[in-house]
Amino acid sequence: MLEKTMENHKILIIIPIILALLSLFLLAFNGLEQGVDLKGGSQAELELLGSVSPTELEQTLNQELNTNNIKVTSNGNNKATVELENSINSSTFTSAINGKAKIISYNEIGPVLSEEAMEQIYIAMLFAFIFMAITVFIVFREPVPSIAIILAALCDIVIALGGMSLFKIPLSIASVGALLMLIGYSVDTDILLTTRLLKRREGTVEERARNAMHTGLTMSFASIVAMTILFVVTILIMPEADTLSNISAVLVIGLIGDILSTWLMNLGILKSYIDWRQSKKQEKYSLSSSTAKSNKPTKSDKLDKSDEKNPNQSLKIDLKGNPNMILKKEKIN
């Protein structure tokens, strides 16, 4: 696998880029569902009375409140969570329940609070990328590897958002936390790869890439398995823990995207950069070698210099075939 990746590293860079573009397409046309804590509305924790099911409660609320934007989630133990897109006061909601449930907690989230929450999310994501870029550039002091790491992390976030849009995972405070965690996962594997290829000198580039891939894929697959188990447990055993299921789903999608962006795109960029740097060194060495050869004195140059130091000797050499002339010139001198 690694040999094919190294041979076709320039072509394989396109795969994560295509996935990121498809994710942007999904976000543009399919949109991203937002949780109540970000878009505003009402949220209530209820205790169901009698043999009322969450489905029956949802139908009752839709009829009483004359809306279809109500979501009822079972929390087990005759408890349920109700989310309404519109902000409804507690008295109206209490009358709409019609004695089928008991209110444990009721929260109204206004549009002002939701807008402030979204602004804080944008600021958090922006500062995460800024500090990540600064740290990476300080560590490697080279622009190309630093930009490659940032692009890989950006692809991971975009692919994760595309997966959230595809599987209808709402954007909430919890899922935003998962996206921030995903930046850490991505930078970890990318820095591992970049350090092995650029900082270490033992072995060939392919050998260093193979060692980095072995370590990085082990880390990624371990995280994917752990998050998958958490997702299955929350769906089957603890359906009330939808926050944990959303976090684990976002991380699984993002980690799969991280495998592609790190070991296809980032590895391809670094391989091209190393090849370019080696070709530049080879050109510089060839140029210096040719310059040294051109500056090296030839036999004729040596003879010319010796002639300048001893003109009589030069005359003797030039008139070697006429000894009488040589003697005549010596008497003159």
Q: Which has the closest alpha carbon to 163: 12, 16, 20?
A: 20
47 phi/psi in degrees, rounded to 5: -110, 115
pLDDT tens digits along 115-163: 777 788 888 888 888 888 888 888 888 888 889 999 999 999 999 999 9
Q: Is 194 in contact with 56 (CB distance < 8 Å)? A: no
Does domain 8-21+29-36+113-278 sit in CATH 1.20.1640.10?
yes
Separation between Cα atoms, residue 276 and residue 264, nearest integer Å: 18
Q: Is the pLDDT of residue 320 over 50?
A: no
pLDDT tens digits along 213-271: 999 999 999 999 999 999 999 888 887 778 889 999 999 999 999 999 999 999 999 98
Q: Is 86 in contact with 248 (CB distance < 8 Å)? A: no
Cα 228 from chain centre: 21
SS3 67: coil
**Would you place residue 38 in the very low, low, confident or very high pLDDT band (cuts 50, 70, 90)?**
confident
Report how far apart the first and last C-alpha atoms of the chain are (Å, whole number): 85
Rounded to an integer, the average pLDDT of 97-101 is 85
The fold for domain 41-109 equals Alpha-Beta Plaits (3.30.70)
Tokens of 315: 């005359």
Most confident range, picked from 37-51, 103-117, 226-240: 226-240
Q: Is the pLDDT of residue 97 over 60?
A: yes
**Which pLDDT value is given to residue 292?**
66
pTM over 0.75: yes
Separation between Cα atoms, residue 51 and residue 14, nearest integer Å: 55
Q: Domain locations in the chain? A: 8-21+29-36+113-278, 41-109
For residues 281-308, b (16+ Cβ closer than 10 Å) or e, as one string? eeeeeeeeeeeeeeeeeeeeeeeeeeee
Most confident range, picked from 16-25, 88-97, 318-327: 16-25
184 phi/psi in degrees, rounded to 5: -65, -45
CATH fold match for the domains 8-21+29-36+113-278 and 41-109: no
The CB density around residue 236, as the number of other CB atoms within 10 Å, is 8
